[in-house]
Amino acid sequence: MAKRIVGWLVLIPLCAIILIFALANRHLVTVNFNPLITVDTTQPAYGIPLFLVIYAILFLGIALGGIAVWFTQAVHRKAAKRYKREAEKLKSELDAARRAPAREPDPALLAADELA
């Protein structure tokens, strides 16, 4: 319950900060992905709000970071899968060994027990 309360205590101010940031940056900006083109002031320019540009870049960074982490953790996922298969194999071998009848004792050991 405390974890949920702390989560809400962090989430509510964070949402408020994001909302205030969006309201403070509503002015329109023109986005151009080609740095070699000069801006022609005679043509009408279509803009998008600055906060959308920043949020889009933030989302893209989070997505690319998540993809990079996912690829780097592939080694660990592969090892975990291999260890799981090995554990299942060893468990089945152990179960088979437990089900197998006990072997007869070696006659030399029986003779040694009788002498003792």
Q: Cα 8 vs. chain centroid, distance in angstroms?
A: 23
Split into its structural domains, the chain has a count of 1
The model's pLDDT over 62-114, given as tens digits with 9 standing for 90+, comes to: 999 999 999 999 999 999 999 999 999 999 999 998 888 777 777 777 777 77
- Which amino acid belongs to residue 19? L
Specify if 73 maps to a domain.
Answer: yes
Specify if 112 maps to a domain.
Answer: no
Specify if 110 maps to a domain.
Answer: no
Flag whether the pTM goes above 0.75: no
Specify if 57 maps to a domain.
Answer: yes
Rounded to 10 deg, the angle between the 50-72 and 74-99 helix axes is 40
Q: Which residues contact 48 (CB under 8 A, 6 or more apart)?
A: 28, 29, 31
Domain span at 15: 2-32+40-100
CB-count burial class (<10 Å; 0-12, 13-18, 19+) for 13: exposed
pLDDT of residue 39: 67
Specify if 113 maps to a domain.
Answer: no
